[in-house]
């Protein structure tokens, strides 16, 4: 029939379908590889309380944007566990594995790793993360002690001030929470001051 377009052969259609499938699979592999590489690097999520309003007030962004979605952590975890099993003395991998366990709600396993690492060498960042883990496990006293030790060992670290203030505020200890933030403002680096200033403003509005 004049003007009719020639029909595409079944063979060409099958090849195009296979090509699209291959391309999508390749993209997925590359994305997953990049994600694993990012987790194995030194760049780690914000160490403040990611599910609470004080953090949202401080950062101005929603908690979901602070860390990888659970599905991504679930994809990364087997690879991290494999890497740690091959290199059990790699502290950086251990830190990442603990972070993955924490984000997947496997708190007891995260706590074990943090305690093992801290037994070998004190680290205020890890001590703060242990505080987060203990807090989520319901050990409020243990969490408070961990935050206070992190603050004492590195007064310039901003996260423990915000975390401890949040913890105190949720116990109706708002005045103490404000005192912690005010103390932090005299200690933290200039780049961390805006976060604490927003936290103080948030707490003052609730008084």
Q: In CATH, what number is assigned to the domain containing residue 63?
A: 1.25.40.10
Q: Do the domain assignments include residue 7?
A: no
Residue 147 has pLDDT above 90, yes or no: yes
Q: Do the domain assignments include residue 4?
A: no
Q: Residue range 67-87: average pLDDT? A: 86
Return the pLDDT at 7.
Answer: 54
Range of the domain at 81: 49-206
Give the chain's mean pLDDT.
79
Residue 9 has pLDDT above 70, yes or no: no
Higher local confidence (pLDDT), 160 or 202: 160
Confirm if 144 and 167 have CB atoms less than 8 A apart: yes
Q: Do the domain assignments include residue 24?
A: no
Residue 195 has pLDDT above 80, yes or no: yes
Q: Do the domain assignments include residue 17?
A: no
Q: Do the domain assignments include residue 89?
A: yes
Q: Do the domain assignments include residue 65?
A: yes
Higher local confidence (pLDDT), 51 or 105: 105
- The token pair at 91 is 């502290």
Q: Do the domain assignments include residue 11?
A: no
Residues composing the chain = 207
Kindly report which listed range (36-45, 76-85, 116-125, 163-172) carries the lowest average pLDDT score: 36-45
Q: Do the domain assignments include residue 26?
A: no
Return the pLDDT at 39.
Answer: 39
Residue 106 has a CB neighbour count (10 Å cut-off) of 16
Return the pLDDT at 138.
Answer: 96
Return the pLDDT at 20.
Answer: 54
For the chain, the domain total comes to 1
Return the pLDDT at 151.
Answer: 97
Residue 45 has a CB neighbour count (10 Å cut-off) of 13
Q: Quote the distance between the C-alpha of residue 200 and its chain's center.
A: 23
């Amino acid at each position: 029939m004049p003007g009719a377009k020639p029909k595409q052969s079944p063979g060409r259609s099958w090849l195009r379908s296979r090509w699209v499938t291959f391309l999508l699979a390749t993209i997925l592999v590359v994305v997953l590889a990049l994600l694993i590489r990012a987790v194995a690097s030194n760049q780690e999520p914000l160490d403040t309380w990611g599910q609470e309003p004080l953090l949202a007030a401080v950062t101005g962004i929603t908690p979901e944007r602070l860390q990888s979605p659970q599905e991504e952590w679930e994809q990364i975890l087997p690879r991290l566990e494999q890497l740690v099993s091959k290199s059990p003395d790699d502290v950086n991998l251990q830190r990442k594995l603990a972070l993955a366990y924490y984000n997947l709600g496997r708190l007891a396993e995260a706590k074990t790793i943090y305690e093992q690492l801290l037994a070998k060498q004190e680290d205020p960042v890890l001590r703060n993360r242990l505080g987060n883990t203990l807090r989520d496990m319901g050990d409020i006293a243990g969490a408070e002690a961990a935050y206070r030790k992190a603050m004492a060992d590195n007064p310039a670290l901003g996260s423990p001030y915000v975390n401890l203030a949040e913890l105190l505020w949720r116990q109706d200890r708002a005045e103490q929470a404000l005192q912690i933030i005010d103390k932090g403002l005299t200690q933290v680096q200039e780049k961390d001051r805006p976060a604490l200033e927003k936290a103080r403003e948030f707490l003052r509005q609730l008084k």
